[in-house]
Amino acid sequence: MAATQVSTTPFDGQKPGTSGLRKKVKTFQQPHYLENFVQAIFDTQRGLAGGTLVLGGDGRFYNREAIQTILRMAAANGVARALVGQGGILSTPAASCIIRKYQAQGGIILSASHNPGGPDEDFGIKFNIDAGGPAPESVTNAIFERTASIDRYLISDAGAVDLDAVGEQALDNMQVQVLDPVADYAALMEELFDFNAIHQLFNSGGFRMCFDAMHAVTGPYAVEILENRLGAEPGTVMNGKPLEDFGGGHPDPNLLHAHDLVALTQGAAGLDFGAASDGDGDRNMILGQGFFVTPSDSLAVLAANAHLAPGYKQGIAGVARSMPTSQAADRVAEELGVECFETPTGWKFFGNLLDAGRITLCGEESFGTGSAHVREKDGLWAVLFWLNLLAVKRHSVAEIVREHWRRFGRNFYTRHDYEGVDAAAAGELMDHLRILLPDLPGKRLGALTVEYADDFSYTDPIDGSTAAHQGIRVGFAGGSRIVFRLSGTGTQGATLRVYIERYEPDPALHDQPVQEALAPLIVTARELAQIEARTGRREPDVIT
């Protein structure tokens, strides 16, 4: 068998967004489309030749075909060893864990995360660097530039690898190792959390929980860790079988898309704990009985209680949150006397801070929480962290969060998404806001006075790299904020995200319904951005 060189021509728009290149499956199925992007990775990431590549995906439609193609290209490009998840499966955090553990030179993760899957839905590809995290912008820009001039790719004509047989195989001169996708990850979780305490909680008789894998990648991980190792009742994991189309659902763990799970936690007979993860296993949603923990609060609660989990008993070095994430974690960092960083949206911006030991925990409002144990956000990790807290404290989820609010105050928080908006109109809306910015400080909007207004830009404190135009921030006296940005993960039209936050120190006012507590700010946001006039939308499609 031999490597063949195939002539090709560039495709427009192979620019990775917030988290890799995401397009419709049909786009990826065009001849040479996947190959061009993958070759651009090999052409720019020279360390892969002679090195180790980790490869796996969330099991969505087209995963297996893409993996076979990438393996044949890896062999032709001189990769010495490929580590592949059995069945082509690796959750995003497990891929990060494996890159680090086996000191690979990088990894390719096939996923469109929380976007639906199937022949007419979405597919995605992402490159992770040797530290285990998403490639920084310098790398994704180089890959994108290469896609614009690519004229050939290399591919072996060898036959298919048996993805289901754990063990070693050869593909030309490349060694292919098919790995149990769960084992290394599960071992890492056992190092970080008190499995005995969680086991006892499960055996205490009074604790009932459910984990919704949403027919996505975390099914096998959750069954092994929660049911087999921790002794949760069989059936604790619902929708645990990964399906190519996620059962037709939207594998996004939020109140809208995980409604079956949410229903199980409602009412007096509701479960004590509910949790869910997304398509590729890096997001998490945490629920108590009749209680939803916002991801921003979850980060703050974990930061305040980290010392209760064995992996973090020394305390945390610092914490980081993406800019639109609520400022709840900032208050905890201040009290702990550790650094707090505000980064642009997307996990790639946490990598340098984690590598440098400046932060231990980080998170995003978009159901993402993680730590220095890997370089991706990690859904099951967050679930285990919460279970560890519950096992130690023996309080309910709601009690833990309410106690946190009493101590630190509550950051009321909501995100309103307007999906499938006309892209030109969305761009103009953002331009309109940019024009308003210089005149906003000092102005009264509704009952509040604007303190600052800017288009967020970030300078990485470790390597000095910069990222501009990361979202419009309008901050008010007293700590309230409105943030506007356009999504970088969609595949159709534009998605406008409006993030709204208000700080409330008074415990007597902590129980208001969130949308009510934020109602005046929501009106201000809509008026300021002229959302209805510019998009034709009166109400958002998704509220989280």
Residues 4-23 that bind ligand VG1 (CB under 6 A): 18-19
CB of 539 to ligand VG1, least distance (A): 19
**Alpha-carbon distance 383 to 285, whole Å?**
8
Q: Using CA of residue 529, residue 532, residue 538, residue 541, what is the dihedral sign?
A: negative
Record the tokens describing residue 341, joined without a space.
């960083």
Ordered DSSP codes for 67-93: HHHHHHHHHHTTBSEEEEEEEEE--HH
**Alpha-carbon distance 279 to 121, whole Å?**
13
C-beta of residue 56 within 8 angstroms of C-beta of residue 84: yes
CB of 523 to Co ion, least distance (A): 32
User: Which lies closer to ligand VG1 via its Cβ, residue 96 or residue 388?
Assistant: 96
User: Which lies closer to ligand VG1 via its Cβ, residue 112 or residue 161?
Assistant: 112
Judged by CB under 6 A, the residue of 100, 283, 410, 481 near ligand VG1 is 283
CB of 491 to ligand VG1, least distance (A): 11
CB of 350 to ligand VG1, least distance (A): 10
**Alpha-carbon distance 102 to 83, whole Å?**
9
Residues 84-113 that bind ligand VG1 (CB under 6 A): 113
Residue 364 binds ligand VG1, judged by CB under 6 A: yes
CB of 377 to ligand VG1, least distance (A): 7
**Is 113 considered catalytic here?**
yes
Query: For Co ion, what does the binding mask look like between residues 230 and 269, x meaning CB under 5 A?
Result: ----------------------------------------
CB of 493 to ligand VG1, least distance (A): 13
CB of 506 to Co ion, least distance (A): 36
Residue nearest to ligand VG1 (CB): 113
The amino acid occupying position 358 is R
Name residues whose C-beta falls within 8 Å of residue 131's C-beta, 6 or more positions apart in sequence: 99, 100, 351, 355, 375
| Measured CA distances, 152 to 9, 67, 80, 130, 147 (Å) | 8, 19, 21, 26, 10
Q: Report residue 34: phi and psi, to 5°.
A: -65, -45
DSSP 325: S
Query: For ligand VG1, what does the binding mask look like between residues 423 and 452, x meaning CB under 6 A?
Result: ------------------------------
Query: In terms of Cα–Cα distance, which of 539, 542, 492 is closest to 253?
Result: 542
User: Choosing among ligand VG1, Co ion, none, which partner's interface includes residue 346 (Cβ < 5 to 8 Å by kind)?
Assistant: ligand VG1
**Alpha-carbon distance 334 to 292, whole Å?**
25
Residue 365 binds Co ion, judged by CB under 5 A: no
Residue 114 binds ligand VG1, judged by CB under 6 A: yes
CB of 58 to ligand VG1, least distance (A): 10
**In the chain, what is the straight-line distance between the N-terminal and C-terminal CA atoms, in Å?**
52
Residue 278 binds Co ion, judged by CB under 5 A: yes
Query: For ligand VG1, what does the binding mask look like between residues 480 and 519, x meaning CB under 6 A?
Result: -------xxx-------x----------------------
| Measured CA distances, 488 to 137, 253, 346, 369 (Å) | 13, 18, 9, 19
Query: In terms of Cα–Cα distance, which of 307, 324, 321, 332 is closest to 362?
Result: 321
**Alpha-carbon distance 280 to 256, whole Å?**
18
DSSP 11: P
Catalytic position from the list 19, 91, 111, 113: 113
Strand pairing of 542-543 and 368-371?
Answer: unpaired
Residue 128 binds ligand VG1, judged by CB under 6 A: no
Residue 282 binds Co ion, judged by CB under 5 A: yes
Residue nearest to Co ion (CB): 113
CB of 262 to ligand VG1, least distance (A): 19
C-beta of residue 284 within 8 angstroms of C-beta of residue 93: no
**What is residue 260's three-state secondary structure?**
helix
Judged by CB under 5 A, the residue of 14, 86, 96, 113 near Co ion is 113
Residue 62 binds ligand VG1, judged by CB under 6 A: no
User: Which lies closer to ligand VG1 via its Cβ, residue 77 or residue 535?
Assistant: 535
Judged by CB under 6 A, the residue of 147, 366, 411, 535 near ligand VG1 is 366
Query: In terms of Cα–Cα distance, which of 474, 497, 489 is closest to 543?
Result: 497
Give the count of residues interacting with ligand VG1 (CB under 6 A): 18
Residue 254 binds ligand VG1, judged by CB under 6 A: no
**Alpha-carbon distance 216 to 276, whole Å?**
10
Residue 224 binds ligand VG1, judged by CB under 6 A: no
Residue 284 binds Co ion, judged by CB under 5 A: no
Query: For ligand VG1, what does the binding mask look like between residues 341 and 360, x meaning CB under 6 A?
Result: ----xxx-------------
Q: Which residues are catalytic?
A: 113
Name the site residues for ligand VG1 (rule: CB under 6 A): 18-19, 113-114, 278, 282-283, 322, 345-347, 364, 366, 368, 487-489, 497
Give contact residues for Co ion (rule: CB under 5 A): 113, 278, 280, 282-283
